Structure 1
Amino acid sequence: MSSMVSSLDVPFQRLRELRGLLLRLHKILLHSEKTVYEQNYGSIRSHGEFFKLVLEDEWFSWLRPISQFIVEIDEALSAKEPVTLARVNELLNEAQTLLRPAEAGTIPEQRYYQAIQREPDVALMHAEVSRLLKQKR
């Protein structure tokens, strides 16, 4: 019986691990995009200005679904009702779709692809997330 319980815990543990990896990836992506933004538009003068840009400027819009997805995971993990295995698997599948780089794909896919190409830390985090998402369920 305990092996059945532990095998059911695996997807839940993967979701918790994914959340941590996504937080790290998101932070690296923000830093990378800030650097490119400043190369194009000049220095961002304060944390408040940067925060406002992240929330409102079109440049950073492709990162917002990642932010929202992290919140979605947090809500699922902290809900009063226990998160179901089906919901966990749905979130894991959604992560694969959300974090799909493509040189000739949608704008978010292209921007993610470009970030992976220019920033080794993004590439490393993408590899970690991909490894986690490819694990057997």
Structure 2
Amino acid sequence: MELPVASAEELQRLEVARTLLLKVHRALLEAERVRYEKARGRIENNSAFLQLVINDPWFDWLRPMAQMVLLIDERTSDKKSPLGRDEARALLDRARALLKADPDGDAFQRLYADALQHSPALAVIARQVSTVLRG
């Protein structure tokens, strides 16, 4: 028995969520760059920053966000194995769980909660993505 594929509405919701997750990720990168530079000095340029994001453990906590966006990209573009309705809902649930700011949670949740406290712009974007993820 074949499982029902995700509806156009569910795919659209995932696309909007993905776009907003990218905005959150960019805002987190900007906030983390400021925090890093305060602690360790100015980063020379964007190329050096990219290398730090990829290789420096300081930025490891941001990986779950990037992985979530990549997972949405992979599953929504897979023509051989179309995204199922249940999987689409599960992706939205995972994204919602990831963005749970919790001072007592895992590394991402703790640092995300801290970033939300220090960046009003990030808080606005986070509210938008939360609304989309709730449906």
Give the TM-score normalised by structure 2.
0.90
Choose 110-119 or 49-58, whichever is displaced more. Answer: 49-58
Amino acid at match of 1:87: E
Kept in 2: contact 1:11–1:85 (CA 8 A):
yes
What is the Cα deviation at residue 8 of structure 1?
3.4
Amino acid at match of 2:20: L
Kept in 1: contact 2:17–2:132 (CA 8 A):
yes
1:19-30 residue pairs with structure 2 within 5 A?
Answer: 19-30=18-29
1:60-99 residue pairs with structure 2 within 5 A?
Answer: 60-81=59-80, 82-99=82-99
Aligned to 2:112: 112
SS state of the match for residue 80, structure 1? coil
How many Å separate the matches in 2 of 1:98 and 1:88? 15
What are structure 1's unaligned runs of at least 5 residues? Answer: 1-6
Q: Which runs of 4+ in 1 moved over 3 A?
A: none
Percent identical residues? 36
Residue 59, structure 1, aligned to residue 34, structure 2: no
Q: Across the two proteins, how many residue pairs are aligned to each other?
A: 129
Aligned to 1:3: none
Residue 103, structure 1, aligned to residue 79, structure 2: no
Amino acid at match of 1:26: H
- Structure 1, residues 49-108: CA drift from partner, whole Å, max 9, x if none? 111110111211111111111111111111113211111111001101111101222221
What is the Cα deviation at residue 42 of structure 1?
0.3
Kept in 2: contact 1:116–1:122 (CA 8 A):
yes
How many Å separate the matches in 1 of 2:134 and 2:78? 26
How many Å separate the matches in 2 of 1:67 and 1:27? 10
SS state of the match for residue 105, structure 1? coil
Kept in 2: contact 1:12–1:85 (CA 8 A):
no
- Structure 1, residues 14-69: CA drift from partner, whole Å, max 9, x if none? 10100110111111110110011101110001222111110111211111111111
How many Å separate the matches in 1 of 2:125 and 2:54? 23
Amino acid at match of 1:75: E
The higher relative CO (CA closer than 8 Å, separation ≥ 6) is in 2
SS state of the match for residue 130, structure 1? helix
Give the TM-score normalised by structure 1.
0.89
